Homo-oligomer: A and B are copies of this chain.
Amino acid sequence: MNRIITISRQFGSGGRTIGKEVAKKLGIPCYDSELILKIAEKSGLSKEYIENYGEHAPSASWLSNIVGRDYNGRSVRDDLWLVQHEIITELAQKESCVIVGRCADHILKNTANCLTVFVHASPEKRAKRIVEIYGESDEKPEKRLIDKDKRRKSYYQFYTDSTWGDATKYDISLDSGKFGIDKCVSIIAQLY
């Protein structure tokens, strides 16, 4: 049976980098932006649309919930969720791999041999990291963190009915700000 590592992460915690490094160390693929492209190809939705809405929960506004629904009452975002669900399930059947984000831990919880990881860090460390990686922007890094995490949290909650960041939902949770990227990579690879 294939063995999968799923990585959920706070924005700026380095979870994506950790995923890539773990995959490299284990000699297995890591799906992240690649996954986004696969989703785009399959669903016919534009890459920009997916990057903007891939991990955002449906809006609570009644208007946006009426506009853009098909005859089954599904929104474009619901369709995206279904396509994503299918792709992640297929990836896990095809090969051992690392999957970053996209609720993969939840999608695979009953079907695959999974190691589920949550990566977090203090707001100070993450603010520092996002400026280093993504550069400065008009918005303060602290505000960017809060916005992005709020969206990820609400997306996760909406589609999985579980709490994002609840320790009991993951096999292991790590503070990458405390341990550093390399140590996190080595622990995850060790547990694989």
Contacts and interface: CB of A to CB of B under 8 A. Distances in A.
A179 B167 contact: no
A171 B165 contact: no
Interface string A94-135: 000000000000000000000000101000000000000000
Interface residues of A, number: 19
Please tell me how many copies of the chain the complex holds: 2
A174 B172 contact: yes
Most buried by B among A167, A175, A183, A187: A167
Interface in A165-179: 165-168, 170-175, 178-179
A10 interface: yes
Contact of A167 (B167, B187, B191): B167
Nearest to A177: B171
A179 B173 contact: no
A178 to B, nearest CB: 5
Interface of A: 10, 118, 120, 165-168, 170-175, 178-179, 183, 187, 190-191
